[in-house]
């Protein structure tokens, strides 16, 4: 089938291997939230350690009710019976593909696993470029023609997938764009899978967030998890909100044959998290501020070096364009950054981009410190950029960008 190890996981393993060998690597390649587990969640997990039964395939009632409440507080009426839990939203996203059937529209660029999962599920991705500055959604001006053309050639295009905010670009599609995409999905009879795992990490909550489920609730599936907002990636827990009982039943059939049920102790801790107690909402607020401050600082360094990149609006990603440097592909550029400068990034081709386009993804979330103490200090700092270990990383990146420009003209072709 030709499916390789996930590019993000492969890059992380290579960089950790280099670090163990004594190399100094500025790790901008892995999208881990980079923060400690909140003590209240550690306590909840420990208290639930005796829960060793499989439990319902859809997840324990406490977690489904808590997740339903999470969405209700965001203006999406949700019945616990429409919620399905899984071992990470990644598993749920994969399970949805065979449950829906047919091919799926993917924005370009998009997260590395979407296309690979589609191929594993026997579907074919239909790539549609995102509009400028609004990653994570297919361009509405291109969407209908792409779907109708594919259908005219015999393809069964049944769904489209969006990411709000986006990985890899760190941008957020505006309300008008989301609304138009949802309207087109209705006209084209497409189900929408809305990956909203970064929703609670929109840097400016007042900026507004529109989910396709607000516009087309009858055809929108929403997935999320705790790996980003509460830095629980290794716990592997996610939830999905389904628009119909029929689709829920199909997803449960897939889930019953793949993961049976999520880990019982983790479900208990996650149920508490989704009730959003004050100590956890405060942690998420601090995380959002930290992610935004460091991502904006890196964006400023890129802008100062003449490297175009969309302004980050959520999560901890940037997607700079190094057009003008003397490299044939984004993989060549990423290899040079790691080998010659000790900076780990992911090449744009891993996200479905043109390999010849010199775009890479930078993840800023592992710059907060190597120890729990430093990461907690970063969370608490009024200005995390003043912390010496963060400022040192930014200075190092600034030096690399300067050397790149000096060696091959100004990045970005300016």
Express each pLDDT in 330-372 by its tens digit: 999 999 999 999 999 999 999 999 999 999 999 999 999 999 9
Q: In 319-385, where do the E strands start and end?
A: 343-344, 346-347, 360-363
> What is residue 410's predicted lDDT score, i.e. its pLDDT?
43
pLDDT for 414 beyond 50: no
Express each pLDDT in 38-83 by its tens digit: 999 999 999 999 999 999 999 999 999 999 999 999 999 999 999 9
Mean pLDDT, residues 155-168 taken together: 98
When the pLDDT of each residue in the chain is averaged and rounded to a whole number, the result is 95
Cβ proximity of 209 and 199 under 8 Å: yes
Express each pLDDT in 25-34 by its tens digit: 899 999 999 9
Residue 2 banded pLDDT, cuts 50, 70, 90:
low
The pTM of the full predicted model, rounded to 2 decimals, is 0.95
> What is residue 25's predicted lDDT score, i.e. its pLDDT?
85
Q: In 236-326, where do the E strands start and end?
A: 238-241, 317-318
The Cα 21–Cα 114 span in angstroms is 33
Let me know if 385 is exposed, middle or buried by CB neighbors in 10 A (0-12, 13-18, 19+).
Answer: middle
pLDDT for 412 beyond 50: no
- Which structure tokens are listed for 265? 């102790």
Express each pLDDT in 206-236 by its tens digit: 888 999 999 999 999 999 999 999 999 999 9
Question: 134: part of which helix (H) or strand (E)?
Answer: none
Q: What is the DSSP letter of 161?
A: E
Give the 3-state secondary structure of 218-261. HHEEEEEECCCCCCCHHHCCEEEECCCHHHHHHHHHHHHHHCCC
Q: Which residues contact 302 (CB under 8 A, 6 or more apart)?
A: 308, 309, 318, 320, 401
């Amino acid at each position: 089938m030709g499916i390789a190890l996930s590019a993000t996981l492969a890059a992380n393993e290579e960089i950790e291997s280099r670090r163990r060998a004594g190399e100094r690597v500025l790790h901008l390649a892995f999208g881990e939230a980079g923060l400690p587990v909140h003590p209240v969640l550690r306590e909840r997990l420990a208290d639930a350690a005796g829960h060793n039964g499989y439990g319902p395939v859809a997840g324990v009632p406490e977690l489904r009710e808590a997740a339903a409440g999470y969405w209700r507080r965001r203006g999406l009426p949700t019945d616990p019976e429409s919620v399905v839990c899984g071992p990470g939203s990644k598993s749920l996203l994969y399970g949805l593909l065979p449950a829906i059937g047919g091919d799926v529209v993917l924005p370009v660029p998009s997260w590395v696993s979407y296309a690979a999962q589609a191929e594993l599920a026997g579907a074919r991705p239909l790539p549609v470029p995102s509009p400028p500055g609004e990653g994570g959604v297919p361009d509405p001006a291109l969407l209908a023609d792409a779907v109708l053309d594919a259908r005219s050639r015999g393809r069964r295009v049944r769904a489209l997938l969006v990411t709000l905010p986006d990985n890899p670009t760190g941008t957020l599609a505006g309300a008008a764009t989301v609304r138009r995409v949802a309207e087109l999905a209705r006209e084209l009879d497409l189900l929408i899978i809305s990956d909203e795992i970064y929703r609670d990490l929109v840097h400016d909550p007042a900026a507004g967030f529109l989910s396709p489920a607000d516009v087309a609730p009858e055809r929108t599936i929403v997935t999320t998890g705790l790996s980003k907002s509460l830095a629980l990636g290794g716990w592997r827990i996610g939830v999905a909100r389904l628009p119909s009982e029929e689709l829920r039943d199909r997803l449960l059939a897939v889930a019953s044959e793949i993961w049976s049920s999520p880990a019982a102790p983790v479900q208990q801790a996650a149920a508490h998290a989704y009730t959003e107690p004050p100590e956890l909402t405060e942690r998420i607020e601090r995380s959002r501020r930290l992610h935004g401050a460091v991502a904006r600082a890196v964006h400023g360094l890129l802008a100062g070096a003449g490297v175009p990149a969309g302004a980050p609006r959520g999560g901890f990603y940037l997607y700079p364009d190094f057009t003008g440097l003397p490299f044939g592909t984004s993989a060549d550029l990423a290899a040079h950054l790691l080998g010659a400068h000790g900076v780990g990034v992911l090449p744009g081709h891993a996200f479905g981009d043109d390999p010849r386009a010199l775009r890479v993804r930078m993840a800023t979330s592992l710059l907060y410190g190597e120890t729990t103490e430093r990461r907690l200090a970063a969370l608490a700092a009024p200005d995390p950029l003043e912390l010496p270990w963060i400022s040192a990383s930014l200075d190092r990146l600034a030096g690399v960008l300067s050397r790149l420009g000096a060696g091959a003209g100004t990045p970005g072709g300016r």
